[in-house]
Amino acid sequence: MARAQFQSGQKVWVECVGAWAKIERINPVWAKGFDEPVRVTYDVGLGREFLAHELAAPEEDPTAEGGLGQWRMMRARNKWQAAEDVPHHPFPGTYPVIVTDSADWGGWRVPGAEYDRDPHRIEMQARAIAATPQLLALAEQLLISVDQSGGDAPPELVHLADQAHAVLRQITEVLAAPTVRRQTNESSNAA
């Protein structure tokens, strides 16, 4: 017997298409003599119906709970270009490195050619990446503040909190690992 694993309106990842979609309709397939459907398909508006194993639901990223730590921007020496060759760079002879680990290594770097193409834009992006943990904490505090207001928050603030919630979900929701999905499918089919 089959049971629906997704709900109507739920956001799912369609593996074979490689795109997100929403469940528009759940279609149970009934057979004579059975009390439950023998198969359930899902219409996600992509031209055909999909089975549950072809779809994946987002789940909370377990690493999101641990916090991101202190990210910081450091400067690394540009080994390929001397400072006198690039006077148009904001900091000639160096490029930004975002360190996301407590040690001074590990994180995000930009290729030298990309940095040279638009160094001012890369510098701004590096500052934005380094500020990400603080911006996420700010968004979470906004959500907490609106939740604790007991419905007395101004509508503009509620709208901002909704936007912050949507952004946080984009960051913290990830697809379940394929092995977890298979185990879930097998256990629900056995039930």
* Separation between Cα atoms, residue 81 and residue 46, nearest integer Å: 50
Q: pLDDT, tens digit, for every residue of 56-70?
A: 887 766 655 556 677
For residue 181, is pLDDT > 50? no
> Phi/psi at 95 (nearest 5 deg)?
-145, 155
Q: What was the pLDDT predicted at 57?
A: 82
* Separation between Cα atoms, residue 41 and residue 53, nearest integer Å: 10
For residue 87, is pLDDT > 70? yes
Q: Mean pLDDT across the chain, nearest whole number?
A: 82
The pTM is what?
0.55
Rg (Cα) of the chain, in Å, rounded?
24
Burial of 146 (0-12, 13-18, 19+ CB in 10 A): buried
For residue 78, is pLDDT > 90? no
- Crossing angle (nearest 10°) for helices 155-172 and 132-148: 130
Residue 85 is given by DSSP the state G
For residue 25, what are the β-bridge partners? 43
Overall average pLDDT of the 58-87 stretch: 76
* Separation between Cα atoms, residue 74 and residue 182, nearest integer Å: 43
At a CB cut-off of 8 Å and minimum separation 6, what does 141 contact?
Answer: none
For residue 71, is pLDDT > 50? yes
Overall average pLDDT of the 13-31 stretch: 87
Q: pLDDT, tens digit, for every residue of 33-46?
A: 888 888 899 999 98
Nearest-5° Cα angle at 68, 131 to 153: 70
Q: pLDDT, tens digit, for every residue of 97-121?
A: 888 877 777 788 887 778 888 889 9
Q: Is 84 left (phi over 0), alpha (psi -120 to 50) or beta?
A: alpha
